[in-house]
C-alpha cells in the first residue's frame, strides 16, 4: 500500500466519523479473525499474487471531562 493510498484510507475514516457524529475511530487489524491492536502498525500479508489486510473499526464520541 502506498503512502497516498494509506492517507486516502485515513481521510475516508475521518469523513465517515464526521457523518456519524463521532470524533474518534478505534481501528485494529483484523486478519483471519484475529485482532491486532497497535498505535503504529497494522498486520499485512502478501502472497504470490495479491497482498491483503483487513481493518475493523469502531466510531466513537470522546467526551472532555
Q: Which of 51, 24, 19 is nearest to 39 (CA)?
A: 24
Q: Note the pLDDT tens digit of each residue in 48-58.
A: 888 888 889 99
Cα 2 to chain center, whole Å? 15
What was the pLDDT predicted at 21?
Answer: 94
Cα-Cα-Cα-Cα dihedral sign, residues 4, 53, 38, 57: positive
What was the pLDDT predicted at 38?
Answer: 83
Residue 17 CB-density burial (10 A; 0-12 exposed, 13-18 middle, 19+ buried): middle
Residue 40, φ and ψ in degrees, nearest 5: -130, -20
pTM: 0.69
What was the pLDDT predicted at 34?
Answer: 84
Q: Note the pLDDT tens digit of each residue in 15-34.
A: 999 999 999 999 898 888 88
Amino acid at each position: 500500500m502506498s503512502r497516498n493510498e494509506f492517507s486516502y484510507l485515513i481521510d475516508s475514516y475521518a469523513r465517515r466519523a464526521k457523518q456519524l457524529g463521532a470524533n474518534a475511530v478505534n481501528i485494529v487489524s483484523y486478519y483471519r479473525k484475529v485482532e491486532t491492536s497497535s498505535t503504529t502498525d497494522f498486520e499485512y500479508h502478501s502472497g504470490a499474487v495479491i497482498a491483503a489486510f483487513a481493518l475493523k473499526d469502531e466510531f466513537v464520541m470522546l467526551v472532555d471531562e
